[in-house]
Amino acid sequence: MTDNQNNELSHEQIRQDIANLRRKKSSQMSLVWSRFRKNKLALAGFVIVSIVVFIAVFADFLTSYDPLETDPFNRLKAPSAEHWLGTDELGRDVLTRLFHGSRIALEIGVLIILFEGVIGIFLGVISGYFGGWIDAIIMRIVDILRSFPVIILAMAIAGIMGQGVWNVVIALGIVGWTTYTRMVRSKILTIKEADYVEAAYSIGESTASVIARYVLPNALPTAIIMICIMMPTALIASATLSFLGVGVQPPTPAWGAMIAAGRGYLLKAPWISTSAGLAIMITVLGFNFIGDGLRDALDPTTKRN
């Protein structure tokens, strides 16, 4: 191979090359984003979730009603120009409560995911990478916890610890991290066997470096996707708990609680339960679409059926 005339690389050339490298890294991100964008369902999911987030942030300004203000003279009114989704059994504007409920839903959802995710991913990496007795112990704990009926356990814990958002998070999180651990562990096990990991050791990388530079970056897509997929689970679990009257207490507007409250009026005033149920469903769908879209965008090589 013939060399360039100028064997010495000028400093300018080097700086240029390093700049190119940085640009390359960020173009990887935009490639993922463009793939994501092309997927219509994923885009729809993104729009849905964006709307829900917007509503959660600006709930105070979107309607003129107070979610807690009761109005005994306007109980169980059907949807109308003044109350777009009608009123509930205490005369509160359903739409306003729905909007504020999104705040609770997302807040709890995010907290659950952070709590479970941090514990679960960390233990998954340790378990998967080091194997041996660490793996055995962690997986046995996972097995034991997963054999508990989650909702009942959560009710018991919340019962002991009392009301409040954090207690819901802990109650669900105590078992919830196990899903993360399992998925991450299995991904780590696959990565561990990859040639490039062995290659890394063969050039002298330390264990810490191998985990940081070779294992984690390849497990990252899995972790990201997991978070999107676990959000619906978290939402539904917390809605279930509030439906059962655990954790978040009235008069705080939580979607699950709203469904429960509306139960007694299903024939007379179906809009109470229905709207809350639909809210949960749409939000969950949105996250599901994003999760699927992300998975396809991050790894387009897996064939779709």
Partner 1 sequence: MTDYKEKIIEIKNLKKHFETPQGSVRAVDDISFDIYRGETFGLVGESGCGKSTLIRTILRLLPPTSGEIWFNGRDIAPLHRKRDLKPLRKEMSLVFQNPHSSLNPRMTVYDTLARPFRIHGITKTKEETTIEIVKVLKTMGLQAEHMIRFPHELSGGQKQRIAVARALAVEPDVIFLDEPTSALDVSVQTKILKLLEATKEERQLTYFYISHDINLIRVVSDRIAVMYLGKIVEIGKTPLIFGEPQHPYTVGLFKSVPIPDPDRKIGEMSLQGEVPSPVNPPQGCNFNPRCPHAMDICRKEEPELKTTEDGRQIACHLYNR
The residues that touch partner 1, with contacts defined as CB under 8 A, are 1, 3, 9, 11, 14, 17-18, 20-21, 24-25, 28, 194-196, 198-207, 209, 213-214, 217-218, 220
Find the shortest distance in angstroms from Cβ 36 to partner 1: 18
Q: How far is the CB of 29 from partner 1 (least distance, A)?
A: 12
Q: Which two tokens stand for residue 263?
A: 């139960």
Residue 265: CB minimum distance to partner 1, A? 55
Angle between helices 271-298 and 255-262 (to 10 degrees): 150
Q: Helices in the chain by DSSP H: which ranges?
A: 11-38, 40-62, 94-130, 132-146, 150-161, 165-192, 195-202, 207-209, 216-243, 255-262, 271-298
Asked if 36 and 294 count as a contact pair (C-beta separation under 8 A), the reply is yes
Smallest separation (angstroms) from partner 1 to the CB of 191: 10
| CB nearer to partner 1: pick between 31 and 78 | 31
**Contact by Cβ (8 Å): 257, 68:** no
Around 16, how many Cα atoms within 13 Å sit in the side-chain half-sphere? 5
Nearer to partner 1, 147 or 195 (CB): 195
| Distance, CA of 87 to CA of 275 (rounded, Å) | 11
Q: What burial class does residue 193 get, using C-beta atoms within 10 Å of its C-beta: 0-12 exposed, 13-18 middle, 19+ buried?
A: exposed
Q: Which of 5/64 has CB closer to partner 1?
A: 5
Is the Cβ of residue 188 or residue 248 nearer to partner 1 in the bound state? 188
Closest distance of CB 226 from partner 1, Å: 18
Residue 239 C-beta: closest distance to partner 1, Å: 37
Q: Nearer Cβ to partner 1, position 195 or 304? A: 195
Tokens (6 digits) for 114: 């952070």
Toward partner 1, which CB reaches closer, 222 or 240?
Answer: 222
What's the CA gap between 287 and 272, in Å, rounded?
A: 24
